[in-house]
Amino acid sequence: METVLKTVLGRDYFKQVEKYGDDLDVDLAEVMLETRLRAFDWIVNHDPMQLEYDSPNLVQRFLLVLFYYQTTRHKPWKVCNPGATNQRSSTTNFCYQIHPVTGDITLDIWDDQWLSDSHECQWAGVICENAQSEEMAVTDLSLGRNHLNGPLPWEITRMPLLGILRLENNMLTGTLPPRLFSKKAGSGLETLVLSSNQFSGTIPAEWVADLLEGSGKLTLLVLNRNTLTGMIPSELGLLSLKSLILRSNTLTGSIPQEVFNQTALQRLYLGQNDLTGTLPSEVGLLTNLKYLNLNYAQISGTLPSEIGLLNQCEELVLSNTNMQGTIPEELYTGLNPGYLYLDGSSFSGTISPSLGLLTNLIRLGLASNHFHGTIPNEIDALTLLTELLVNGNDLSGTVPVSFCHNLYAGETGSKVVADCLPNSESGVPVIQCPSDCCTSCCDETGVCLAT
């Protein structure tokens, strides 16, 4: 049996001297070896199924057992541990699952406990294809919000048909394993979601080289809400990603030009990092992009006119950046997003009457910039708009009455914020807001009061 596992995982797999990454220290190597030997011991001596060496599911069952031991290094999972008490029946292996949104244990979803006597494809969070066959292969492993902890075992991608790996909202630690895709592993993986964990270090450039060598199919890469550092690897531009979500880390440097070569991209979330540089004109190459989020990135410069080429864009978030200059007319004539946030930056100039062309707008944030002039009357064409933030600018005049009438005709949860408190010097508001239109009024110091 050990020979079979070595064939898949490497001849030296069970040797303590093996090191699977340049940054692997001796202590971590010992930890990984310990869990490997525990998993091997369970398969050989404690597994109720007592698989033969030629069983088609021997390797994947071992890999899942190893995964369990590695991700319970510090404490058990929230649910579905072997022998846990949160069972549907004391005479079965059933355990309650976790609601994917709230994270609460739900009585409406249950599955088998891990390391039970059932087939591993029946364990919680595991989905297989060929469900009626003896050769059931794992295609989806989703264990979000389940208190997984410890380092991520790179071996999990050695299941050749694994297409989805979702481990978000856990407590996984350490660096992202460089060998996650080595030796053509993970060649079938299309979705990798490791968001909201405690990963540190850099994004391994080795991933791209290994994926390309193994004809990788990765299209969704989600690593947001960790503590990743370093620069975004330019090599990512060689992949055919549809979603690249890296927000809420501590990444530095500029956005690699190669990222804008990924014309299949539909979601690009890089905000809440320490990124610098500018938004290049090549952004216009992302003609399939639906969501662009760079909020709280330290990018500067002006908004390129090529932004108008993103005619599929549904959400554009460039708030709280160091960007400046006027809004190119092409944004109004080429885009028609539902959500447009430019607040908290240093944009200037007037608000173009072409704003009225953005008829899909639901929320518009222009607050805390340097816009001057008046709010154009054409805004009354935005009949879907429920949120308008224009405070903290140098605007004057009146919020158009017709817009206010449209706003409250069928929407009770609308939000309008403008500089409609009396000015401390003149005693007159710089913007007049019709009665019952603005939900909050602000003064020149930024103090805002609900009306």
Residue 76: predicted pLDDT = 94
CA 378/CA 361 separation, integer angstroms: 13
Tell the residue number behind the tokens 């969070």, with chain if given: 125
Read off the amino acid at residue 62.
Answer: F
CA 393/CA 376 separation, integer angstroms: 15
Mean pLDDT of the chain: 87
Closest CA relative to residue 390, chosen from 448, 335, 334, 436: 448
Residue 357: predicted pLDDT = 97
Residue 184 · residue 214 · CB < 8 Å = yes
The pLDDT confidence band at residue 171, using thresholds 50, 70 and 90, is: very high
- In the chain, DSSP finds a helix count (H) and a strand count (E) of 6, 29
Residue 55: predicted pLDDT = 86
Q: Please provide the CATH number assigned to the domain covering 338-451.
A: 3.80.10.10
Q: Which residues of 4-23 are buried (b: 16+ CB within 10 A; e: fewer)?
A: bbeebbeeebeeeebebbee
Phi, psi torsion values for 135, nearest 5 degrees: -105, 50
3-7, 182-186, 392-396: the lowest-pLDDT one: 3-7
HEC-encoded secondary structure of 80-138: CCCCCCCCCCCCCCEEEEECCCCCCEEEEEEEECCCCCCCHHHECCEEEECCCCCCCEE
- Alpha helix positions (H), 287-443: 329-334, 401-407
Summarize the confidence of residues 115-129 as an average pLDDT: 92
Read off the amino acid at residue 370.
Answer: H
Residue 36: predicted pLDDT = 85
Phi, psi torsion values for 349, nearest 5 degrees: 85, -165
Summarize the confidence of residues 23-52 as an average pLDDT: 74
436 DSSP assignment = T
Name residues whose C-beta falls within 8 Å of residue 341's C-beta, 6 or more positions apart in sequence: 295, 316, 317, 318, 319, 363, 364, 365
Gap between the terminal Cα atoms of the chain: 74
Summarize the confidence of residues 94-112 as an average pLDDT: 65
Which pair of tokens denotes residue 293?
């989020």
Summarize the confidence of residues 238-267 as an average pLDDT: 96
Residue 90: predicted pLDDT = 45
CA 303/CA 145 separation, integer angstroms: 38
Summarize the confidence of residues 173-180 as an average pLDDT: 92
More confident residue, 311 or 32: 311
Residue 4: predicted pLDDT = 54
Q: CA neighbours within 13 Å on the CB side: how many for 350?
A: 10
Q: Domain boundaries in the chain?
A: 338-451
Helix (H) / strand (E) element for 70: namely helix 58-70
CA 378/CA 344 separation, integer angstroms: 24
Q: In this structure, how many other beta carbons lie within 10 angstroms of the beta carbon of residue 384?
A: 13
Which pair of tokens denotes residue 384?
């879907």
pLDDT higher than 80, residue 252: yes
pLDDT higher than 90, residue 17: no
Q: What is the pLDDT of residues 407-448, one digit of tens each?
A: 765 456 789 999 999 988 888 899 999 878 899 999 988 999
Residue 298 · residue 321 · CB < 8 Å = yes
Summarize the confidence of residues 149-165 as an average pLDDT: 91
Residue 403 · residue 379 · CB < 8 Å = yes
Residue 259 · residue 284 · CB < 8 Å = no
Closest CA relative to residue 144, chosen from 86, 65, 225, 207: 225
Q: Model pTM?
A: 0.89
What is residue 252's three-state secondary structure?
A: strand
Sheet holding 198-201, edge to edge: 149-151, 171-175, 198-201, 227-228
The pLDDT confidence band at residue 123, using thresholds 50, 70 and 90, is: very high
